[in-house]
Amino acid sequence: MAVLSPTQPTHRRGGRGASGPRPPRRVGFSQRLGRWDVKLSPYLYISPFFLLFALTGLFPLGYTAFVSLHEWNLLGGQGEFVGLENFSAVLAQPVFWKSLVNTFSIFVFSSIPQVLLAITIAALLDQNLRAATFWRMGVLIPYVVAPVAVSMIFGRLFADQYGLINELLGIVGIDPVGWHSDRIASHVAIASMVNFRWTGYNALIFLAAMQAVPRELYEAAVIDGAGRVRQFFSVTVPQIRATIIFIVITSTIGGLQIFDEVRMFDSTGLGGANRDWMTTVVYLYDVAWGNQKDFGRAAAVAWLLFLLIVLIGMVNFLITRRISTSGPKAPAVSRRHTRRLLAQARAAGGAGTAPPTPAPAPAPTDPTTDREDRR
């Protein structure tokens, strides 16, 4: 860090050496210049971000609160101050509540299977594969397809009549599902679009985290007699817990803002005749730019949704942390924890999946230090 202290320019000049001291004024000037350079540059470098972000990110978010307290519509502009009237009007709308339930339902159908699938795919990729890059690129393909395009395609795949999904279900002997008429079914269809696009992406993030796990831990686990599944739950999962938290939180934020998929799922794009799959963001859009053209109420919706996202994000964070911190802290806890996980896995996946566990393998003593050493 010496480089950043103001004395540096002197040192630099002095370093040149034998010719003796320079005229004091010149040194003083460039020294002062150098000092200002050192002092101001950091602020200069971060200022474009903060200025632009304040203008296009922060100000709108704050101003939303202002708009929400006024009568305000698309054409007429700002009206009079109405206090919390917009909020009470929105909260009195059954459609608003319906959209919240829809959003939450779609979110659950998308995030949980997505994280589980992504971890599984990552575990598959985290092996000594031939053509590893090919497979990794393969799982990322859906990510480059625009959600609107995915939605149009899946809208067709999930068609109520002559849709591929229903035909496939027919082969297995299941009656055709009304993807565009049954509420829960429509949620599953929309969630599957979200999953299609994001599972591979998240799998690669998990893969990156898995590869950062020191291989010695696995070697130690093997010596202790742990099988593949046991290794996964006792070494991999605790080691990538921070990444799991990260993915869960980002998928929450994304999952509560679903818009594109619903807009393209049918031709009106407002969530069906009964608003059975209208999400809250689509509701916001409809209030602001659809029939009502009411910016005041739409702003109130935005704020309510914002609070909800923060709330769910926090709950999410706490739960995920509770679940995963009990891992590597102390070996005793860790063992109990993994045993529980294993029991769950066994219960969920049938008896065959769990490896025979010999003498309880002590968890690797302190994985965190290992990890630090490696860097």
Nearer to other proteins, 241 or 337 (CB): 241
Minimum distance from residue 253 beta carbon to other proteins (Å): 6
Q: Which long-range contacts (CB under 8 A, 24 or more apart) does 327-330 make?
A: 327/237, 327/238, 327/241, 328/238, 328/239, 328/363, 328/366, 328/367, 328/368
Nearer to other proteins, 185 or 214 (CB): 214
Minimum distance from residue 209 beta carbon to other proteins (Å): 6
User: How many Cβ atoms from other residues are within 10 Å of residue 302's Cβ?
Assistant: 22
Q: How many H helices and E strands in the chain?
A: 18, 2
Sorted by sequence, the CB contacts under 8 Å of residue 294 that are 6+ apart come out as 72, 73, 74, 287, 288
Nearer to other proteins, 92 or 141 (CB): 141
Residue 275 near residue 101, CB atoms below 8 Å: no
Q: Which residues does residue 72 pair with via DSSP β-bridges, in sequence order?
A: 78
Minimum distance from residue 341 beta carbon to other proteins (Å): 19
Nearer to other proteins, 233 or 285 (CB): 285
Minimum distance from residue 83 beta carbon to other proteins (Å): 18
User: How many Cβ atoms from other residues are within 10 Å of residue 78's Cβ?
Assistant: 13
Nearer to other proteins, 148 or 332 (CB): 148
Minimum distance from residue 242 beta carbon to other proteins (Å): 2
Nearer to other proteins, 12 or 26 (CB): 12
What radius of gyration do the chain's Cα atoms show?
28
Minimum distance from residue 105 beta carbon to other proteins (Å): 19
Residue 121 and residue 133: Cα distance in Å, rounded? 14
